[in-house]
Amino acid sequence: METIESMKRISRKNIISPKGFKAVGIHCGLKHKKNDLALLVSEVPASVAGVFTTNAIQAAPLSVTKKVVYETKKMQAIIINSGNANACTGKQGMEDAFTMQQKTADHLGIDQSLVGVASTGVIGEQMKMEPLLTGIQKLKPMDTLEGSIQFSQAILTTDTVTKNTAYATVVDDREVVIAGVAKGSGMIEPNMATMLGFITTDANIESEHLQQALKGITDVTFNSITVDGDTSTNDMVLVMANGLAGNKTLTPDHPDWQSFVNSLHAVAQDLAKMIAKDGEGATKLIETTVTGAVSNEEARKIAKSVVGSPLVKTAVFGCDANWGRIIAAVGYSGATIDPEAIKIYIGNTLVVDAGEPIPFSEEKLLIYLKQHEVKFLVELNQGTGKGTAWGCDLTYDYVQINATYRT
């Protein structure tokens, strides 16, 4: 990561912090009371990049938005609803997604091909189009904190908190701001899960290079979190860059390229960790770092295996320093290991050395495991690969939330 001199977290942590963006969220009637319709708009068409769920079953809005990202390669607005995923809804669902796109474009007076669509909520139910289309006509994007708060609330489903972050860096002696907002709580598994992420920046960068930057960052941030092993049908991360900071066009050859990429990485990592921490019913964030793997990819694979293990997650919930569950998850990860070379730390306490148990204070680790953030370190001593993954504990509330999701 960069030093604080070239990148800083800023206090205006909202999606409209970069120049030229407006946002709004309202209640249109898809959900009982809470905001359920959101709109993000750039003053000018922006370069766009996107990553999407790897689930073979993909919701209608993804088809619409992929065309914007991969064919138009510019985006000026994104319309989002919560309360209905518009997934597994057949031809009618696809027509509804295109109607959302067209009506939003008409409302804003822009070309339909510049509008992205995202939906989140219950799978397999047709969209209630009448309240949604009436709601679109009521949307009045604002460049105020109120508008950004409404937006971040309107995209939520079972989330307990909104998720916002922003950083500023310097490119060509100009301040460039990158901000992000996300939703995600359940059905979270590496490789794009039940999450939506929207990132804005006023940097001047072409879509091709923005896509390059986002793709490289995704694997070590959004694809390094897991809550419950379920990969959803709707999920995406979009980045819009409108160029209003006025810097020279960013490319990998630009002297400030790494400053921009590091700031984008910081935004993505913040959002990913917030999603993991807000897992349905979760009380703790679990962070696992693996060092000494044969590659970075293998290190991340092992780290995700540990944070995704139901037995590890329940042990953390119960404040049980059961390192056997950690080493078991390392073993079944499928990565290259030598059992006799493994070290494991819970917090700063060494509990396994050379694959064998080390005496430790149960009382000390009980106190540590009661914290809201728990860290594991696994040293493999096989190579130079390093990776980190994030997850959460598994609680009684997770079962309750998902047992009654539709009812």
Q: Quick one: which of 232, 140, 152 has its CA closest to 197? A: 152
Rounded to 5 degrees, φ, ψ at 16 are -100, 15
- Euclidean distance between CA atoms 74 and 88, whole angstroms: 27
CA dihedral 57, 61, 67, 73 (to 10 degrees): -120
- Euclidean distance between CA atoms 190 and 297, whole angstroms: 13
- Euclidean distance between CA atoms 212 and 221, whole angstroms: 15
DSSP state string for 132-151: HHHHHHH---BSSHHHHHHH
The active-site residue out of 165, 194, 201, 388 is 194
Q: How far is CA 227 from the centre of its chain?
A: 12
Tokens of 104: 């939003």
Q: Where are the beta strands (DSSP E) in 265-384?
A: 285-293, 343-346, 349-353, 356-357, 373-379
Task: Give 404's DSSP letter.
Answer: T
Name every residue whose Cβ is closer than 8 Å to that of residue 261 and which is 6 or more positions away in sequence.
213, 216, 217
Q: Are 73 and 49 spatial neighbours (Cβ–Cβ below 8 Å)?
A: no
Query: 352 in helix, strand or coil?
Result: strand
Q: Are 310 and 394 spatial neighbours (Cβ–Cβ below 8 Å)?
A: yes
Q: Quick one: which of 77, 68, 78, 76 has its CA closest to 44? A: 76
- Euclidean distance between CA atoms 180 and 271, whole angstroms: 7
- Specify whether 194 is catalytic: yes
Tokens of 184: 């995600």
**Residues assigned a catalytic role:** 194
